């Protein structure tokens, strides 16, 4: 036989035949099932890790948002006070288990008012002097002009747990 | 399925990607490991399982067959070393563990084919002629059976016996290396 390619093919066929007489992983259904199960488990773990990581980032973003600015307090503008944004949300920290009560406010109120006898994490002192002077307001959380604000009033008239 | 789609599919847990990988590579990996383990079939099977589990857990996205084989050979070598250590054996006793991790698949194949030729040459001439007629000259089993006055079933059994003998010869050759 002079054709090297044909000879290689024939030898390959013989080698395949010889190897088929012994163990062949491709025919081992038990091994196939174990490896498949390991793949599926690895995929589930990767997805879980990704979702936990995503939740971690989200939590970090919320905490970063709720943390007070460390920069100097800007001077109060002398002009008219900017109107509050239309949508307001209460920001709270579940881990702190704060005792608080949401105070009913007029339907078109720009603020959510919360009575509590404890602070929820470190807060900037309220920058709105009028609100502070009105009595009971100890702080406002949220970026100036932002959509999230929390007004804390102390003390709470009665205790309710979240 | 190309390697790029296959490796990404395994990371996503796709069944078609897994089947393509297992069907296309499990036997090839075992053949490579038989050579690396110097014919120790039990060791090769243990290492194969370990290596396959590592592959489906950690396989990164790869672009081509060369990249994939390079990755597989590193994984197989690492699994082989770990398996030997677990068994209390010295990994340095096997050349595959002393050599660089990436050995070509062809390198392992060459050793096997060299031993295949030796195994064929070592057979009695009657047996060798039967195998050569069947595998090299393309003669049908009916023709060969008629030539040597055997039933078809008898010829099939004789071919199987010869193949097993050659397989043992090859494994023994690997163990001796």
Residue A22: its pLDDT value, please?
82
- The answer on A62 and A94 residing in a single domain is no
Q: Rounded to 10 degrees, what is the CA torsion of B24, B26, B30, B36?
A: 80
Residue where a domain terminates, one of A66, A85, A119: A66
- The answer on A154 and A135 residing in a single domain is yes
Does the CB of A5 have a partner CB in chain B at under 8 Å? no
Q: Is the pLDDT of residue A114 over 80?
A: no
- The answer on A48 and A99 residing in a single domain is no
Instruction: Give how far A130 is from chain B: nearest CA, Å.
Output: 58
Query: Is-contact B41 B64, C-beta < 8 A?
Result: no
- The answer on A54 and A9 residing in a single domain is yes
- The answer on A83 and A17 residing in a single domain is no
Quote ipTM for the complex. 0.75
Residue B48: its pLDDT value, please?
95
Q: Which domains does chain B have, with CATH numbers?
A: 3-101 (1.10.1740), 106-176 (1.10.10.10)
- The answer on A155 and A109 residing in a single domain is yes
Of the candidates B23, B2, B123, the one whose C-alpha atom is nearest the C-alpha of residue A18 is B123
- How much is the mean pLDDT over chain A? 66
Query: Is-contact B166 B112, C-beta < 8 A?
Result: no
List the single best residue of A1, A2, A7, A18 to mutate versus B (max B Cβ within 10 A).
Answer: A18
Mean pLDDT of all residues in A80-97: 51
| pLDDT of chain B, 177 residues: tens digit per residue | 899 999 999 999 999 999 999 999 998 899 888 888 888 888 999 999 999 999 999 999 998 888 899 899 889 988 998 988 888 887 776 666 656 544 556 666 777 888 888 999 999 999 999 998 988 888 888 899 998 888 989 999 999 999 999 999 988 888 887
CA distance B54 to B56: 6
Q: What is the pLDDT of residues B151-173, one digit of tens each?
A: 989 999 999 999 999 999 988 88
- The answer on A106 and A54 residing in a single domain is no
Q: Which has more pLDDT, A155 or A29?
A: A29
| Domain interval for residue A94 | 74-162
Q: Is the pLDDT of residue A1 over 70?
A: no
Residue where a domain terminates, one of A66, A88, A110: A66
Instruction: Give how far A41 is from chain B: nearest CA, Å.
Output: 8
Residue where a domain terminates, one of A45, A66, A87: A66
Least confident of A11-20, A68-77, A84-93, B81-90: A84-93
Residue A17: its pLDDT value, please?
84
Residues of A in contact with B48 (CB under 8 A): 25, 31
Write the residue in B30, B57, B163 that is nearest to A17 by C-beta: B163
List the single best residue of B14, B15, B26 to mutate versus A (max A Cβ within 10 A).
Answer: B26
As for how many domains chain A has, the answer is 2
Alpha-carbon torsion (A103, A105, A107, A108), positive or negative: negative
Percent of chain A with pLDDT over 90: 9
Instruction: Give how far A61 is from chain B: nearest CA, Å.
Output: 28
Contacts (Cβ under 8 Å, ≥6 apart) of A29? none
Residue A156: its pLDDT value, please?
46
Q: Is the pLDDT of residue A149 over 70?
A: no
Percent of chain A with pLDDT over 70: 38
Q: Is the pLDDT of residue A147 over 50?
A: no
Confidence label for A86 from pLDDT (cuts 50, 70 and 90)? very low
Of the candidates A128, A67, A104, A65, the one whose C-alpha atom is nearest the C-alpha of residue A139 is A128
């Amino acid at each position: 036989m002079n054709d090297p390619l044909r000879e290689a093919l024939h030898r390959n066929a013989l080698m395949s035949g010889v190897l088929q007489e012994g163990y062949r992983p491709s025919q081992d259904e038990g091994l196939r099932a174990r490896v498949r199960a390991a793949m599926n488990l690895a995929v589930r773990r990767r997805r879980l890790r990704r979702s936990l990581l995503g939740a971690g980032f989200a939590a970090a973003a919320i905490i970063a948002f709720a943390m007070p600015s460390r920069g100097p307090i800007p001077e109060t503008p002398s002009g008219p006070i900017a109107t509050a944004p239309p949508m307001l949300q209460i920001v709270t920290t579940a881990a702190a288990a704060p005792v608080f009560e949401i105070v009913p406010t007029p339907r078109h109120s720009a603020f959510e008012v919360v009575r509590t006898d404890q602070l929820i994490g470190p807060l900037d002192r309220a920058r709105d002097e009028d609100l502070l002077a009105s009595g009971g307001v100890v702080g406002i959380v949220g970026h100036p002009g932002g959509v999230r604000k929390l007004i804390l009033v102390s003390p709470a008239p009665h205790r309710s747990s979240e | 399925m190309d390697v790029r789609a296959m490796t990404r599919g395994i990371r996503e847990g796709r069944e078609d990607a897994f089947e393509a990988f297992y069907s296309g590579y499990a036997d090839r990996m075992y053949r490579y490991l038989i050579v690396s383990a110097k014919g120790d079939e039990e060791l090769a099977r243990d290492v194969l399982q370990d290596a396959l589990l590592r592959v489906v857990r950690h396989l990164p996205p790869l672009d081509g067959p060369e990249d994939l084989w390079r990755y597989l050979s590193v994984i197989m070598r690492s699994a082989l070393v770990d398996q030997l250590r677990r068994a209390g054996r010295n990994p340095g006793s096997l050349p595959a563990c002393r050599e660089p991790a990436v050995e070509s698949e062809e390198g392992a194949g060459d050793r096997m084919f060299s031993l295949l030729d030796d195994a064929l040459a070592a057979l009695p001439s009657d047996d060798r002629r039967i195998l050569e007629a069947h595998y090299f000259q393309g003669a049908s089993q009916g023709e060969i059976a008629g030539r040597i006055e055997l039933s078809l079933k008898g010829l099939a059994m004789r071919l199987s016996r010869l193949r097993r003998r050659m397989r043992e010869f090859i494994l023994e050759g690997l163990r001796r290396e």
